[in-house]
Amino acid sequence: MSDIERRNLDILEQHFRDGCKLNCIQKLGVEIEHFIVHEDTGASVTYYEECGVEYLLHEIESYYPRHYYEGEHLLGLYNNDCSISLEPAGQLEISIVPKESIRVIQKIYQTFLRQLLPVLQRCGYRLVTLGYQPVSRADDLPLIPKKRYDYMDQYFQSSGTRGRNMMRGTAATQVSIDYCCEKDFQRKYKSAYLLMPALKLLTDNTPVFEGAPYQGCLARTYIWNNVDSVRCGMIPGTFRPDFGFRSYAEYLWNLPLIFLPTPEGSVYTGSRPVKDIWKDHLITPEDVEHILSMTFLDVRVKHYVEIRGADSMPFEYVMAYLALIKGLFFKPEVLEELLAQYPVTEQNILDAENHLMKKGYDSEIYGQPASVFLWKLLDLAEDHLEDGEALCLLPFRKNIQKRMTLAKEYYGIYPQTIPTNHRRKF
């Protein structure tokens, strides 16, 4: 390895060290992706159509003092509390600035709804929180005018079989948590993967895939498992004792970049890894941000740990999810207990997810019935919540009691978004 290569690895590693929050005042950030659909058909509203997604952004832009354009097209809005951005096929995402209080997050989200919902109602649209498009199919949806997505779309055609579905069809809920030091990072990162099968089952909200009922569970996991094995899922060696900031930096160093932004415009790089692109010159802070954005692991690291396994879901379930994450991840002793009680391997996690995908609540998680494992997690989280936050967990408790996922309840709750020949409860 050359001196420049070593220095670049040091730069990547230092980025994560710079993310350590030495005061350890922990906060939760959340990103919620939504589909905007036509009220009468359930079909997705595209970016380009008359009164499309770009029009909707313009209708609420007065609430946001900062705007993001690519060329002449409006693609993002920002204020001090949140940002509004778009996923590849026009899925609308709100990213809420990290807060200590779940109730403050709730108030920011409610403000966002008060701004947007009257516009949607006037246009005959509805906001939908699901893990996959309720009616529209991936091939029918154009990408928004963002060059990044054109390059990704090109790359994913050869990296797997479901990149098109992922980009155009999926929507997620992502929660970010701070880390205080490398040891705290290791504990939280490994615990997030340990708990990932359980988190995915609790938040499974994908009843439809390509316009038809999805018969299994964890449909988004099925999709992501078939997008690109080198940048999705889990890093090999995650549960090694020495896995830390350097390990994550080395993973990024070998990552195929897909494209490279330059002052003259972005350049498609395909499968060329980071280490080849920067073998002769040093990585800049802007380069680091781009590299970090090109991995789609279930648990991603920036200056925080980002837990990415949950489907988009109704906000009462987002509140439950935030309470669960806070109750489990904000106390080091809780995570130490979990990691000691369940000394899992990467294969154990993959096996648990595969079983849940087939059988849902009729399956097991690490040798325990899924419902038993989930109930224990909720009890553990409740013991470490405060100020009435434990009440937020009730939607999850009700579903566990019924052994029912959000996805399986969908047909009884939202029949108007399903093609007539698929309207049934299961």
Residue 404 sits in a domain whose CATH number is 3.30.590.20
Q: Is residue 113 predicted with pLDDT exceeding 70?
A: yes
Over residues 304-341, the pLDDT tens digits come to 999 999 999 999 999 999 999 999 999 999 999 999 99
Domain total for the chain? 1
| pLDDT bucket at 422, cuts 50 / 70 / 90 | very low
Give CA–CA dist 127/92, Å, rounded: 9
Over residues 12-39, the pLDDT tens digits come to 999 999 999 988 789 999 999 999 999 9
What would the two tokens of residue 62 be? 């007065």
Over residues 368-388, the pLDDT tens digits come to 999 999 999 999 999 999 889
Question: What is the predicted pLDDT for the residue at 421?
Answer: 43
Cα distance from N-terminal residue to C-terminal residue, the chain: 57
Percent of the chain with pLDDT over 70: 96
Evaluate whether residue 341 is within a structural domain. Answer: yes
3-state secondary structure of 253: helix
Domain containing 397 equals: 26-240+292-412
Q: Is residue 174 predicted with pLDDT exceeding 50?
A: yes
Beta-bridged to residue 68, according to DSSP, are 76
Helices 315-329 and 332-341 pack at an angle, to 10 degrees, of 90
Evaluate whether residue 61 is within a structural domain. Answer: yes
Evaluate whether residue 13 is within a structural domain. Answer: no
Evaluate whether residue 400 is within a structural domain. Answer: yes
Asked whether 153 and 228 are in contact (CB, 8 A), the reply is no
Evaluate whether residue 264 is within a structural domain. Answer: no
Give the residue from 96, 115, 92 showing the smallest Cα distance to 30: 96
Q: Is residue 364 predicted with pLDDT exceeding 60?
A: yes
What is the C-alpha radius of gyration for the chain, rounded to an integer number of angstroms? Answer: 21
3-state secondary structure of 157: helix
Q: Which residue type is seen at 233? A: G
Tell me the pairing of strands 92-99 and 125-128: unpaired
* pTM for this model (two decimals): 0.95
Question: What is the predicted pLDDT for the residue at 242?
Answer: 96
Give CA–CA dist 236/247, Å, rounded: 10
Evaluate whether residue 359 is within a structural domain. Answer: yes
Give CA–CA dist 170/34, Å, rounded: 9
| b/e sequence 138-163, b meaning 16+ C-beta within 10 Å | beebebbbbebbbbbeebbeebbebb
- DSSP code per residue over 102-143: HHHHHHHHHHHHHHHHHHHHHHTEEEE--SB-SS--GGG-PP
Give CA–CA dist 323/350, Å, rounded: 25
Evaluate whether residue 424 is within a structural domain. Answer: no
Evaluate whether residue 3 is within a structural domain. Answer: no
Q: Is residue 419 predicted with pLDDT exceeding 50?
A: no
What would the two tokens of residue 43 be? 């079909």
Question: What is the predicted pLDDT for the residue at 415?
Answer: 43
Helices 315-329 and 182-202 pack at an angle, to 10 degrees, of 140
Over residues 383-407, the pLDDT tens digits come to 999 889 999 999 999 999 999 999 9
